[in-house]
Amino acid sequence: MNDPVLDSHALAKTYGTARALATVDLTVRRGESVAIMGASGSGKTTLLHVLAGIISPDSGTVSFHPSTGAPVELTGLRESARSRLRRERFGFVFQQGLLIPELTAVENVALASMINGVRRADAVQHAASWLAALGLAGMEERRIGELSGGQAQRVAIARAQATGAELVFADEPTGALDSNTSREVMDALLWSTTGHGRTLLVVTHDSEVAARCSRTVAMRDGRIISSAVAA
C-alpha cells in the first residue's frame, strides 16, 4: 500500500453553534483519487478546506508528507507558511474555476508558476504544453469568456498542474457541467493527477464522479460514516 500524502486526526470545526467537523480522521495515500460525498451541510467542503490548509480546525492535526523532505504539520504553520505550501505543493480546481476573466487561457495557467518565481517565457511555454495535453491547443490566447464551461475547467486543471502539485483538491469540479462534459472533465482531471502518480481529493455530489475515483468517503453531520474502495 502506498505511503500517506495526507494524514489527519481528530479534526473538529464549529461555526457558531453549528458543528461542521466532529473528530474526523482521514488518511489519503499517494496516488489515490478520493471522493468525499455527503448532503449539503455534511461537512465535506469544510474537511477539504481544512486538509488543504485554507482554514484551521478548532482542534486536531493535519500532516502533509511530501515526496521529498520531512512531513509538515499544517495545523502548526502560520498563515503565510500555509499560503506558500498551497502555492507551491498543492493544486486547486473549483466549481466555477475561479479563473481571471481578463487574462487569456495561457496567462491564467502561467500565472501560478510566475508567482513562484518562474520567468514569464518559461511559465508560458510550460502552460501551453499543459493546455495542449488537455486538448486546448490553439485556444491559448482565448479569454475565459470565449471558452465553454468544460474548456474553462480544463484551463483550471492545467493551472492546478502547472507548478507540479503533488496533491490536487477539487471542490465540485463538474457541478456546473452537463453529463457528457462532466465525464470529459473527470477524464482530464484523473489523467493529469493519478495518471501521473499524483493524488486527487475531490468533493462531489455526483455519484458518477465518485465512482471514477479509487475510494469514496461518505460524510454526515460532520463525521465520516463510511470509506469504500472501488471494486
Cell digits of residue 44: 465535506
Cell for 181? 462534459
- Domains in the chain: ranges and CATH: 4-229 (3.40.50.300)
What confidence score (pLDDT) does residue 1 get? 56
Other C-beta atoms within 10 Å of 87: how many? 14
Kindly state the percentage of the chain with pLDDT values over 70. 98
pLDDT for 174: 84
* Distance spanning both ends of the chain, measured CA to CA: 16
Among the ranges 18-32, 86-100, 158-172, which has the highest mean pLDDT value? 18-32
What is the separation of C-alpha 45 from the centre of its chain, rounded to a whole number of angstroms?
11
Q: Return the H-helix or E-strand segment holding 21.
A: strand 18-29
Q: Is the model's pLDDT at 149 over the cut of 90?
A: no
Residue 47: name the closest of 175, 206, 55 by CA.
Answer: 55
pLDDT for 26-75, tens place per residue? 999 999 999 999 988 899 999 999 999 999 999 999 999 998 888 999 98
Q: pLDDT band at 212, cuts 50/70/90? A: very high
Query: Does 94 or 228 have the greater pLDDT score?
Result: 228
CA angle 185, 188, 191 (to 5 degrees): 145
How far apart are the C-alpha atoms of 89 and 183, rounded to whole Å? Answer: 26
pTM check: above 0.95: no
Which H or E element spans position 49?
helix 44-51
Q: Tens of pLDDT along 152-203? A: 888 998 998 888 889 999 998 888 788 888 888 899 899 999 999 999 999 9
Q: CA torsion sign, 148 to 105 to 32 to 223?
A: negative
Q: What is the mean pLDDT of residues 109-128?
A: 92
Show the cell assigned to 201: 481529493
- Count CB atoms within 10 A of the CB of residue 94: 17
Q: What are the two backbone dihedrals, phi and then psi, of residue 37, each rounded to the nearest 5 degrees?
A: -120, 155
Query: What is residue 97's predicted lDDT score, i.e. its pLDDT?
Result: 59
Instruction: Kindly give the pairing relationship between strand 4-15 and strand 215-220.
Output: unpaired
User: What confidence score (pLDDT) does residue 31 get?
Assistant: 94
The model's confidence at residue 88, banded by pLDDT at 50, 70 and 90, is: confident
